[in-house]
Structure formats: structure tokens, C-alpha cells
Structure 1
Amino acid sequence: MSDYKSELNVDALDALLEEERTALLSGALDKLTDMLPRKEALIDALNGVPHADIPTLQSLDIKVKRNQLLLDGALEGIRNVAERLATLRRLRGSLETYGSDGKKRNIGVDTDHSVEKRA
């Protein structure tokens, strides 16, 4: 691969990493699936060519790691939301309280939300 083609791939990957960062920060996680094949292809193309411009590659590496931290944070947030929703579903049918003896008690709650019509 020519130096020119390699430089184009570096520039394209740099722009894609910035686009990925913007998507992560704005919560547009659905855009990440469209970016992944392009990102993999650019990284594969760059891995196959020896580079003399180490600072540029180090800059790309920093951006990849930065985006990975953002992605990890987004995944942790999604896990927290899923856990919270599961807890809310579980608690929706009961009420936890403590008795005078200090022991936790579960009180079942009727979850029938139907409306009875009377004439």
C-alpha cells in the first residue's frame, strides 16, 4: 500500500473515531453498529502496512482507548438501567416493610388493574 493510501486510511480512521466519540457522548449507540465494519476494515488495512509515523499511530491508539472507555461507561449504564427495571418489576407485586420486631416482611399487592363498570 502506498504512503498516500496509508495516509488516507489514517485520516479516515481518525475521522471515524471522532464520529464514534460523538455518537457515544450523544447516546446514539445505534450508529455504532454501522461504524464497526468500517472501523475494522481501516484498522486491518493499517495493520498490514509498516508505518514510520509513530506519533500519528499513537494518537489513533489514544482515541481508540478513549472511545473504549466511553463504550464501557455506556454499557455499564445500560446494565444499571436493566438491573433497576428488573428490580422495579419484581417489587411491583409486593411491598417490603419492617415489623416492630425489626424483621423484613413482604406484603403481597393485588396487581389486577382492571376496572369494574357498574350501571
Structure 2
Amino acid sequence: MTTETAQDIINRLDELLELERAALLKGNLEEIPILLGEKESLIDALNAQAPEQQNNLQNLQVKVERNQALLDSALQGIRKVAARMAAFRRIRRSLETYDESGRKHIIQGEVEHRVEKRA
């Protein structure tokens, strides 16, 4: 059984945060949950170390905050895309317009084509 020092764990966590950043920048969001599991394990291992051995955590804090900002931006982008797609679906169902006197008119969209079977 190998005993990892706090610095070994910090180094591995640092590398993992760089991988997470690269995945976020590439838009490879499928990789994030996998990295999250590894990150949690490393943080648990680091928490098990004596407090005096936990040096150089400021660098990790900066990277964690940077990655959190990237993740927040990715989520915001996903929400915007979802809202845009919802708007397109609404437009396909009906289009709202206004006439010259300011009255709203609704133009129905998406005509359903059904074939009626008769015997």
C-alpha cells in the first residue's frame, strides 16, 4: 500500500483541474461527471491529511474558481440554446403579428397531415 503525501494529492488534483478546464473549453461536457468523481476522491484524500500538511492550496482555489466560472458559462449557454429552441417551437405552432391599427393576429402554423383510413 502506498502512502501519498499531501503534496502528491495536491499535484494530482492540480492535473485533474487542468483536464477539467480543457474539457470545459472544448465543450466536452460528457467528461465532467467522470472528472467530478475523481476530484471528490482526491479532495476526500486531502481532507484526511493533517492540516499542517495541506500547503499550497491557494493555487488550487484559483483553478477551482476559474473552472466554476467556465462551468457556469457553459450552463448559461445551454439555457440560452434551450430557450431559443423553445421559441422556435412556439413559432412553428403559431406566429403573432400586428396589423396597421395595432391589433394582434395569430397565424396558425404546423398543419397536421393525417390520412384517414376507410374501409
TM-score range, shorter chain: 0.7 to 0.9
Tell me which amino acid in the other structure corresponds to 1:45: A
Residue 17 of structure 2 corresponds to 17
Deviation at 1:111, TM superposition (A): 2.8
Residue 103 of structure 1 corresponds to 103
Any unmatched runs of 5+ in structure 2?
115-119
- Between the two proteins, the alignment pairs up a number of residues equal to 112
1:29-48 matched pairs, under 5 angstroms = 29-48=29-48
Tell me which amino acid in the other structure corresponds to 2:63: K
Q: Deviations over 1:43-102 (max 9, x none)?
A: 111122214564x20000010011001000000100111111111111102122111112
Q: How does the TM-score come out when normalised to structure 1?
A: 0.84
Percent same amino acid among aligned pairs? 49
- SS of 1:111's equivalent in the other structure is coil
Tell me which amino acid in the other structure corresponds to 1:20: E
Are 1:70 and 2:70 matched, yes or no? yes
Any unmatched runs of 5+ in structure 1?
115-119
Distance across 1 between alignment mates of 2:70 and 2:5: 29
Q: How does the TM-score come out when normalised to structure 2?
A: 0.84
Cα distance, 1:6–1:111 mapped onto 2, change above 3 Å:
same
Which structure 1 residue ranges, 4+ long, deviate > 4 Å from structure 2? none
Superposition RMSD in Å: 2.0
